[in-house]
Chain A
Amino acid sequence: MTNAIEIRAVTRRFGRVKALDEVSFTVPVGSICGLLGRNGAGKTTVMSIISGQDRPTSGRVEVLGATPFEHAATLSKISYVRDNQRYPDDYRLHHVLRIAPEFAPNWSTDVASELVDGFQIPAKTPIKKFSRGQLSAVAIVLGLASRAPVTLFDEPYLGLDVSARALFYSVLLRDLATVPRTVLLSTHLIEESESLFDRVVIVDRGRVVVEEERDDARELALSLSGVADVVDRVAAGRAVLQSTRVGGLKSVIVRGPGDSDILNAAALHGVQVAPASLQDLVMAYGTHDEPATTTKEGVRA
């Protein structure tokens, strides 16, 4: 078994709305995979289904080789704290720290206390009165200290400042070295997080539009910018995923690898060219008012 997470043609309807539409992707064991996409793209629904908190309307999901829904042995190997997680009435931090190890066989008290200290999570305030950042901090404590073989983070840094995020990154990478596990992480802070990923999945309106190794995703699209009509000339013949125009200047994201044709054309016309960043890709696939785009089908480089 080489895949920690396997999702095959998963559809999830809520009434008439299709939150997920034939979603398929895999996350290999040991990967740190970014799950990216705009709000409402379906990231939280996917994670709920992977963690057995929700069930697909159709399709299959396997985590470590088993269907997670109501499967005790598998559920004990998954950690997923929702971004809007509810805690029992009157809970304080110590309640969470006392009960979580009962369900998490690999729980690390050291990791938990390091994070609690680092995030300065208040001990006496009821969790109900926590700020957004403090709630995120509790979720990170649960996610990292559980040391679950499959760990899901849904927008883990909402409300966290830059030093709290740095703490998260360093403890995550350091503890992964101690106890390897598979991580699926959704975030809007793409530029800050992308170097963490070895793999990315981009979802848009309930569909997977990109599933690639991180380094291969660089080949998916190019960013061209310069004088508008020259950019258009260089971009001719490529599918334009997104374009932005300010006065006479234009930047476009076009599909496909940076082969010598387009690189030479760009150099000849003085157009700046670079591999599209993950952020560019997410924006490109999340833009739906652009003409002449074919963003609905998946892209394979």
Chain B
Amino acid sequence: MLSNDIPIFQQLAAQIKDDIVAGTYADETAVPSTNEYAVFYRINPATAGKAVNLLVEQGILYKKRGVGMFVSPGAAELLLAQRRDRFTTEFLTPMLREAQTLGIGPSDLAAMIDREAVSDERH
């Protein structure tokens, strides 16, 4: 579930972000407590707290005193915008580099993308 290559708190933070983007936790709804995360993922409560604090610093979550952690309004939008920003560097650039290595030109690549998109829609 959680691996050794990346620090656990970063993995958990990424997991929570994915859940927010996927709509599992809507704006202004509560996310599980640090201790629930600790028990569920079988991790140290301080580690879980570190992940949650990271998200608070990034404005994704906010704390209601005595109640718990909530998804900040517009968090999903914010995360989506960040992902869009990273889409070029994380997906397009490596793909173009690999395509170049394989001798696939930009127009061939565009055609491949169209074909994949159509077959993906049928599923």
Contact = CB atoms under 8 A, between A and B. Distances in A.
Contacts of B33: 177
Contact of A169 (B42, B45, B46, B47): B42
Interface stretch (A43-51, A62-70, A143-151, A193-201): A193-201
Q: Which 7 A-B pairs have the closest CB atoms?
A: A177-B35, A198-B46, A195-B43, A198-B44, A173-B39, A173-B38, A277-B4
Question: Does more than half of chain A's interface fall in helix, strand or loop, or is it mixed?
Answer: helix
Given A170-B42, A177-B33, A195-B41, 9 more contacts: A30-B46, A32-B45, A173-B35, A176-B45, A177-B35, A196-B43, A198-B46, A214-B47, A215-B8
A277 B5 CA distance: 9
Interface string B26-46: 000000010100110111111
Contacts of A13: none
A195 B42 contact: yes
A57 B44 CA distance: 34
A265 B63 CA distance: 44
Given A196-B43, A198-B47, A215-B9, A174 B35 contact: yes
Interface in A95-132: none
Nearest to B47: A198
27 contacts: A30-B46, A31-B46, A32-B44, A32-B45, A169-B42, A170-B39, A173-B38, A174-B35, A174-B39, A176-B45, A177-B33, A177-B39, A194-B4, A195-B2, A195-B8, A195-B43, A195-B44, A196-B44, A198-B44, A215-B7, A215-B8, A215-B47, A274-B4, A274-B5, A275-B4, A275-B5, A277-B4
Interface residues of B, number: 17
A173 B7 contact: no
A55 interface: no
B44 A214 contact: yes
B47 A195 contact: yes
B121 to A, nearest CB: 37
A173 B38 CA distance: 7
Contacts of A169: 42
Nearest to A180: B45
Interface of A: 30-32, 169-170, 173-174, 176-177, 194-198, 214-215, 218, 274-275, 277
A151 to B, nearest CB: 15
Contacts of B42: 169-170, 173, 195-196
Q: From B8, B33, B39, name the one whose CB has the most chain A CB atoms within 10 angstroms.
A: B39
Nearest to A34: B44
Nearest to B5: A274
A198 B7 CA distance: 11
Interface string B72-99: 0000000000000000000000000000
Nearest to A171: B39
A166 to B, nearest CB: 8
Given A32-B44, A195-B43, A197-B44, A177 B38 contact: yes
